[in-house]
Amino acid sequence: MLIKNIRIEHVDNLQDMRIENGIICEIMQDVKAKEGESVIDGQGGLLLPPFVDSHVHLDTCLSLDVTGPNQSGTLFEGIRIWSQYRKNLSKEEVQERAMRTIRLYQNRGVQYIRSHVDISNDLTAFKALLELKKQVADRMEIQLVAFPQDGVFASEQVRKNLEEAVSMGADVVGGIPHFELTREHGEQSVRFVAELARKYDKLVDMHCDEIDDEQSRFLEVLAAQAYESGLGNKVSASHTTAMHSYNGAYCDKLFRVLKMSGINIIANPLVNVNLQGRFDTYPKRRGITRVKELLENGINVSLGHDDIYDPFYPMGDGNMVEVLSMGLHLCHMMGYGELNDSWRMITYNGAKTLHLEETDYGIAVGKPANFNIFKAQSFFEVLRSEREILWGVRKGKLIKCEK
């Protein structure tokens, strides 16, 4: 297959790309079609690697019709609704909702997802998604995080479930230190999760400091653990919204250990702008970590949708450009250069967080032909008004994207 007239990763020159056996085998200007070769006109559109959602909860997505609505819109009502609903989960119901969510993502050019799965109550959802992950592997690469939503030290059963999920095939060990009963338990939970990850050779991704309390400082504990244990960039911290409220002197100190550790940060702008600031009168905080400053300091930041139409967030349809757009607004990253380069947060930065280098993520000769071609000619245009994907391609095959 030959794709003509594309702008690869924002390069101004129009180029052509040849794909054979699912692999990118040529990128040049004016490539002539071979006899019988199928030719697609890219119409001068922008070609980017597939989107990566670094943080979502596939077990809760699209559940709002069955859980009932969250009237206050707060995290606390969301947790209460979900804790009730999760007691009655079935494998089939979880898989059906997750499959619909995966289709939404596919239509929006996402090919890689990291999903947290709550294992606090039992392993029904985890087992369901482990099975589904294998079934959809040809079209969507899914990483599963064994996530103790109630806290590692909520009970002996949670720790048992966590280790069982990890031994069954979770890719990542999760945690939630700021939600543990005490600061001491939070710190212990970071060590517990890191030890489990080392024991089973897994990645780490903890919900970390997802609270407006400027005293919530588990990120430094997690980063120090990543540094001292040698886990390094295998560790990610999700949310870290408390950083929004830290003072400048503390942040300066914090950034030192973040850089030393190689830790990845994942921000979830849509959900956190909704859930944070709920205890503020006015002014109300924006509920997002310091994305701009983290990036300026060379710390890897990627973005996640977090929730889609569930008790925690009633909106969303798997559109990572919408996630990014909200993040850019909230973080004052609306300079022209920032807008044009921002696609990296939902592509390469996410790939780095998920350690996708091992799966040959990216656009280059010799790599698998996985990418999206947009109707727009620049990413600025994609963000501003033109989000339509002309062609999605996975392993050299065209994916039908909804127009």
Active-site residue list: 210
* CA distances for 330 relative to 176, 280, 290, 378, angstroms: 24, 17, 10, 22
DSSP-derived pairing of the beta strands 110-118 and 51-56: parallel
Name the residue with the smallest CB distance to Fe ion. Answer: 306
272, 307 Cβ separation under 8 angstroms: no
Q: What are phi and psi of 97, to 5 degrees?
A: -70, -40
**Rounded CA gap, 167 and 74, in Å?**
34
CB of 238 to Fe ion, least distance (A): 6
In degrees, rounded to 5, the angle at the alpha carbon of residue 200 between the alpha carbons of residues 351 and 115 is: 40
173, 119 Cβ separation under 8 angstroms: no
Residue 79 or 251: the one with the smaller Cβ distance to Fe ion is: 79
Of residues 22, 19, 56, 21, the one with CA closest to residue 38: 19
Residue 49 or 269: the one with the smaller Cβ distance to Fe ion is: 269
Q: In a 3-state reduction of DSSP, which class is residue 248?
A: helix
Q: In a 3-state reduction of DSSP, which class is residue 356?
A: helix
DSSP-derived pairing of the beta strands 203-208 and 172-175: parallel
Residue 150 or 306: the one with the smaller Cβ distance to Fe ion is: 306
Report the Cα 164 to chain-centroid distance in Å: 24
Residue 149 or 342: the one with the smaller Cβ distance to Fe ion is: 149
Q: What are phi and psi of 218, to 5 degrees?
A: -80, -15
CB of 245 to Fe ion, least distance (A): 19
Residue 76 or 250: the one with the smaller Cβ distance to Fe ion is: 76
CB of 207 to Fe ion, least distance (A): 6
Which residues sit opposite 16 in a β-bridge? 28
Residue 171 or 306: the one with the smaller Cβ distance to Fe ion is: 306
**Rounded CA gap, 238 and 248, in Å?**
21
**Rounded CA gap, 323 and 337, in Å?**
18
Which residues sit opposite 373 in a β-bridge? 47, 391
Residue 42 or 269: the one with the smaller Cβ distance to Fe ion is: 269
Neighbouring C-alpha atoms within 13 Å toward the C-beta of 286: 16
**Rounded CA gap, 378 and 142, in Å?**
28
Would you state the structure tokens that stand for residue 181, as one six-digit string? 């009963």
Interaction site with Fe ion (CB under 5 A)? 306
Which value, to the nearest 10 degrees, does the dihedral of the CA atoms of residues 43, 305, 70, 74 take?
-130
